[in-house]
Amino acid sequence: MKKRHVLLICLPILIILIFSLIWIFSKFKNDKFWDANFYEIISVFLTALIGVLGFAITVYMVTDVEEKRRYVDALVLILDKIDEIISTDDLIPRAIEQGSPEYKKMISSKRNVTNYIDILRKNSEVLKIKNDIQFIFDKFHEYEICIDTCCISKVITEEICVELGNILGLIQGKICEVRVSIYSNK
């Protein structure tokens, strides 16, 4: 548990303890203090204990939900970045010349997408999206093989551009599907 959570739990306990001590000292001066029944004393302490436990459970549950929401939001942000890169035409070059700015943008974008997919693959088990992320990984690997073949032959035809566009379109569709499934799994 984080320090903040421990503080949120310990603070009410400390406040209850202080008020209990004040109450005990004020009652101690009274001659009838020792006339209190055992069940009255126990009921005061049990009520305080149940209140603190209820507060601790509530804090734990709220922070757990908040952490899961942040986790989902982080994964959706990564999906958005992949979608943004795929939406640009950087991944489908019109000409393959190793020194050209278009080629450098394509290599950089390809590397970024690969890194984002690796992050998603590491975290896909938690949200039960492993098969979807594997599909994205497989399709992007298919894209990489196709683009590497074009780089070796230094020729990119219109048919290959259409095939690359189809592969990237399938990835975008799966990204949309994953977004919906992540938020519906909450």
Contact between 160 and 150 under an 8 Å Cβ cutoff? The reply is yes
* Pick from 52, 46, 54: nearest CA to 13: 52
Task: Provide the pLDDT confidence category of residue 126 given band limits of 50, 70 and 90.
Answer: confident
pLDDT above 60: residue 136: yes
Q: Residue 132, Cα to own-chain centre: how many angstroms?
A: 16
Of 43-52, 114-123, 140-149, 168-177, the one with minimum mean pLDDT is: 43-52
Which amino acid is residue 94, in one-letter code?
R
* Pick from 110, 74, 84: nearest CA to 172: 84
**pTM for the full model?**
0.68
* Pick from 154, 137, 140: nearest CA to 98: 154
Of 7-16, 107-116, 126-135, the one with minimum mean pLDDT is: 7-16
pLDDT above 90: residue 26: no
Owner of token pair 């035409």: 89
Higher-pLDDT residue of 95, 176: 176
Task: Provide the pLDDT confidence category of residue 144 given band limits of 50, 70 and 90.
Answer: very high
Owner of token pair 């303890």: 17
Record the tokens describing residue 76, joined without a space. 């959706």
